[in-house]
Amino acid sequence: MNTVKTFMLMAALTALFMVGGQALAGRQGMTIALIISLGLNFFSYWFSDKLALSMNGARQVSPEEAPDLHRLVEELARRADLPKPKVYLVSNPTPNAFATGRNPHHAAVAVTTGLLQLLDRNEVAGVLAHELGHIKNRDILIGSVAAVLAGAISYLATMAQWAMLFGGGRSSDEEGGNPLAALVMIIVAPIAAALIQMAISRSREYLADQAGAQISGRPLSLAGALEKLTAYNRQLPMQVNPASAQMYIVNPLRGGQIANLFSTHPPMEERIRRLRAMGS
Q: Which residues are catalytic?
A: 131
What is the number of other CB atoms lying within 10 angstroms of the CB of residue 91?
10
> How many CB atoms are closer than 10 A to CB 10?
17
Reference 83, options 109, 59, 57; nearest CA is 109
Neighbouring CB atoms inside 10 A of 15's CB total: 10
Angle, alpha carbons 169-170-171 (nearest 5°) = 95
Written as one letter, the residue type at 77 is A
β-pair partners for 100:
108
Separation of alpha carbons 260 and 94, rounded Å? 25
Provide the CB-side half-sphere exposure for 232 (13 A, CA). 20
Distance of CA 123 to the CA centre of its chain: 22
> Which candidate, 97, 76, 49, places its Cα nearest to that of 212?
76
Compute the distance between CA of residue 146 and CA of residue 212 in angstroms, rounded to an integer: 23
C-alpha span between 207 and 186 (Å, rounded): 33
